[in-house]
Structure 1
Amino acid sequence: MKAISPDLLAEVRDFRKRHPDVRYVDLIALDIPGHFYGKRYPMDMLEKVAAGSALKLPQNCVLLGTQGGLFEIGDYCFNDGDPDANRRLVSGTLKPVNWEAKPLGQMLITSDGTEAPIVFEPREVLARVLSRLQSKGIYPVVAFELEFYLFDKNFRDGLPQHARNPLTGDADDQPNMHIDRLSCFSSVLDDMAETARMQGIDATVITAELGPGQFEINFGHLDDALRAADWAALFARSTRGVALKHGCRASFMSKPYLQHPGSGMHVHVSLYDDARNNILAADNRRALGHAAAGCLEFLPHCMPIFAPNHNAFRRLGSAVNSAKRASWGFEDRDASVRIPESDAKNLRIEHRVAGADANPYLVLAAILGGMEAGLDGSRTPIPPLNEDRSSGIEFPVEMLEAVRAMQSSSAIRESLGAEFVKVYCENKRQDHIAFLHEISAREYRWYL
């Protein structure tokens, strides 16, 4: 038995009073590829966990590949006895689920904050970076933006089909950013936003993006960076569920169409000191340049995080607002690191490289680690794109090359943890090789 957490116990008991029809709660956590795993708990057992009973799941759940299989990584998975590891409930995340057929709840769990955190768990990686920043008197404020596509619920010949306009029944197959599309899809979009708010997520602006059936949603700025990443993860889960309820599919796949824009995960980050002064505005914005330089230095070595699969690399260098090199610029959407126009209090970077299907905990950890390194070393940035359109640093555009770049970086190992880098890179390497181990119809057509 652990010590009783009065706040957690009160949260569970209050939930039971407000939702007496909910019998089960999904306890969920994000694995390395960005999928949720967990257990479905009866409500009375959840109350016991909140009161101090142990909550354990296999440690190696975190190591699952994209298709759910386990890879042999060092002694993990097949030579370690598949041990259990303690998890804890994340307070404030017990919420009702409204996209299932029966009443259900869900709640985040994590190993961070336990006696023996799993060093390669994504949330724990971010928690360590944040703890280090806090020890230096640095406090991030973070906001995520996520792009996604809607598709028809049914596939045809294994291929996704354009989403149907709920008002006309026609396929939404024309690329445009017309606000009328928000009206056409208002039933599903409004449900997505309302469901996000039920999960405690501050979902704000919804935009019709350029691709057919493509939309973007913004979240409010948070001074709790862990919770900001929680929001991004939970939004992706709830949005997929709500879409299915409305007869369509929501996908955060980075590049579902070669001829249309990909879907990105844009992350806005400000840094504040103990007195709530914006660190990036210090010394006539010189600190902003240092932080941007650190991001650009880290970027080529963190591409397996920002582009976590074969498809995600297709998005990079595409024609519409997707960076071709590690660059920065003021009010420039061609830049990897964009500096939006703002006053000194709200000065921030917008990191635009990650695909929408990247792991939000790891993306934020990599961004903050880069900003930290830039500030610690007073790094001098390359010229911004506003001064030199050819300015930029090359980064890997293929998974195995990217994995080698990440493995070779002592700075990334120091920032994110050597054991995490070893495990993550091997997971990505084996996942990529497993993906290639299938002969496609095109390969037969070309070479048979």
Structure 2
Amino acid sequence: MKSHACTLLAEVRTFRQNHPDVRYVDLIALDIPGHFYGKRYPIEMLEKVAAGSPLKLPQNAVLLGVQGGLFKIGDYCFNDGDPDANRRLVPGTLKPVSWESQPLGQMLITSDGTEAPIEFEPREVLAKVLERLHHKGIHPVVAFELEFYLFDKKLDNGLPQFARDPLSGDADDQPNLHIERLSRFGEVLDDMAQTAKDQGIDITVITAEIGPGQFEINFGHLDDGMRAADWAALFCRSTRGVALKHGYRASFMAKPYLQYPGSGMHVHVSLYDGAGNNLLAAHQQQSLRHAVAGCLELLPHCMPIFSPNHNAFRRLGGTVNAATRASWGFEDRDACVRIPESDPRNLRIEHRLASADANPYLVLAAILVGLEHGLQAKREPIAPLNEDRSSGTDFPLEMLDAVRAMQHQPVLRDKLGAEFVDVYCENKRQDHLAFQQEINAREYRWFL
């Protein structure tokens, strides 16, 4: 414990030496809907925390709804006295914030690894899954890919407007994959990539996607699944900030335009044993088939995680590569679970169903549980799309149905934690019901 404190203290002191103008640091963590919450600490107080002083925040901050409100979930929030819970600093995550008007730092905090971790904190849920896999001798290697849209900074009566081409001044309303779009938006994209690298994130490929103002960023593969999810979460935060600095809005909203493709979170996962052998390639890829079968079996019960809000369900069955049934295939982007072409050493799955605004910790946890379940159950999967284009099993396409499918699934309750599943499902149910409590203009047009 002392060596851990010494490492953190050295990190804070080195940061202060390298960034003497920074007076405050945002200590941040991801809540259930995937938003950061936290506190802004004076740098002097951060040094005391690094040295061992307690760091406490309200436990129920994790339970906030999409709009920041608290829901009654069991005894939480209104019958528990709103207690504080210990958090800890995440080593290696203290970085400068370059997109704000004043010099700032930021650092991840978490309850996992504390004396009493919060069972429904997303990072803690993933930590338990990773720990269990490691005890089984299974070591995931993970890479995220995130799609997002750029919009004009100004909204039109609350509606998004196409991002303006910096060279022509015209709206970027011609959806295509042309490389020139990367050049036209190069200044803001380069700043996003460099800012992410300054946060310690390994940015690799940048792609202009099909939608107007839509792009994709790929991250490097990591043998630390938690760090990979950290990268995805931190990238969303920095990208929004950099976009505003350049006069744009960046959004990871799943389906901002009905007529254009939605934005997804694609997750590449391979599994290795302690000797570095690819477990998915074992027994002439029989283990791969078992893992895929497990993913597909649990996928219909994980929809509140993969599609965490009303808008995310709009993305499914959309114009490009968004399935409406649980399916798999080799080199097939219509499949929920795609097997990219690779040599046995790098054999992996690409899970393509989650929306870009899903919680990366929970998405990865759900995928890993599916793989783990498949390797344990050793069942054969349904036919791949390469053999049968109609292959697939149904999954819920509406939030309340999805919550019902998730809440009582025994494997998820066992491997993600029953307390988490109950809290998460009620959070999603309450968010969905709150979303319905507004009559929109179309409803008046149709029924007034």
TM range (shorter): over 0.9
SS of residue paired to 2:68 = coil
Contact 1:147 1:217 in 2 (8 A): yes
Q: Aligned letter for 1:354?
A: A
Distance 2:388 2:420 in 1: 36
Point out the more displaced range, 318-327 or 337-346: 318-327
The structural deviation recorded for 1:408 is 2.2
Structure-2 residue corresponding to 1:142? 142
CA–CA distance in structure 2, aligned partners of residues 120 and 3 of structure 1: 29
Structure 1: tracts of 5 or more residues without a match: none
Distance in 1, Cα, partners of 2:42 & 2:168: 43
Kept in 2, the 8 Å contact 1:4–1:52? The answer is no
Contact 1:146 1:266 in 2 (8 A): yes
For the residues of structure 1 that align with 2:82 and 2:246, how far apart are their CA atoms? 40
User: Corresponding residue for 1:329?
Assistant: 329
The alignment partner of 2:140 has SS state of strand
Map of 1:44 onto structure 2 = 44
| Deviations, residues 84-141 of structure 1 (Å, cap 9, x unaligned) | 0000000000000000000000000000000000000000000000000001000000
Counterpart position of 2:345: 345
Is residue 278–residue 345 contact of structure 2 (8 Å, CA) maintained in 1?
yes
TM-score normalised by structure 2 residue count: 0.99
Q: Is the 8 A contact 1:2 1:53 kept in 2?
A: no
- Segments of 4+ in structure 1 off by > 3 A? 1-4
**What amino acid is aligned across from residue 69 of structure 2 in structure 1?**
G
Alignment of 1:71 onto 2:71: yes
> Size of the alignment, in residue pairs?
448
- The reply on whether 1:305 has 2:267 as its aligned counterpart is no
Partner of 2:126: 126
1:331 deviates by 0.2
Question: Would the alpha carbon gap of residues 125 and 4 (structure 1) be closer, same or farther in structure 2, given more than 3 Å must change?
Answer: closer
| Equivalent-residue separation in structure 2 for 1:364 and 1:314 (angstroms) | 22
Q: 8 Å contact 1:328–1:385 — kept in the other structure?
A: yes
CA contact (8 A) 2:111 2:117 kept: yes
1:296 matched to which residue of 2?
Answer: 296
What RMSD over aligned residues (CA atoms) do the two structures have, in Å? 0.9
2:153 alignment counterpart: 153
Deviation at 1:286, TM superposition (A): 0.3
Quick one: distance in 2 between partners of 1:162 and 1:83? 44
What's 1:250 paired with?
A: 250
Structure 2 gap ranges (5+): none
Report % sequence identity.
79
Partner residue, 2:213 = 213
Q: What one-letter code is carried by the residue in structure 1 that aligns with 2:144?
A: F
Aligned partners of 1:142 and 1:220: how far apart in 2? 8
Task: Indicate how the Cα distance of structure 1 residues 33 and 10 shifts in structure 2: closer, same or farther if over 3 A, else same.
Answer: same
* Contact 2:153–2:244 under 8 Å retained in 1: yes
Q: Structure 1 residues 4 and 193, CA, compared in 2 at 3 Å: closer, same or farther?
A: closer
Letter in 2 for 1:272: Y
Mapped partners of 1:289, 1:360: distance in 2: 24
1:370 aligns with 2:370: yes
Superposed CA offset, 1:277-313 (max 9, x none): 0000000000000110010011000000000000000
Counterpart residue type for residue 9 of structure 1: L
Q: Which residue of 1 aligns with 2:273?
A: 273
CA distance in 2, matches of 1:432, 1:11: 42
SS at match of 1:268: strand
| Structure-to-structure mapping, 1:93-104, within 5 angstroms | 93-104=93-104
The answer to whether the Cα contact below 8 Å between 1:330 and 1:386 also exists between their aligned partners in 2 is yes
Distance 1:154 1:106 in 2: 27
**What's the counterpart of residue 443 of structure 1?**
443
Does the CA contact (< 8 Å) of 1:64 and 1:70 recur in 2?
A: yes
Report the 3-state secondary structure (helix = DSSP H, G, I; strand = E; otherwise coil) of the residue aligned with 2:393: coil
How far apart are the structure 2 equivalents of 1:206 and 1:235? 13
Preserved contact between residue 4 and residue 50 of structure 1 (Cα < 8 Å): no
Shift of 1:214: 0.2
What SS does structure 2 have at the residue aligned with 1:5? helix
Instruction: Give secondary structure in 2 for the equivalent of 1:171.
Output: coil
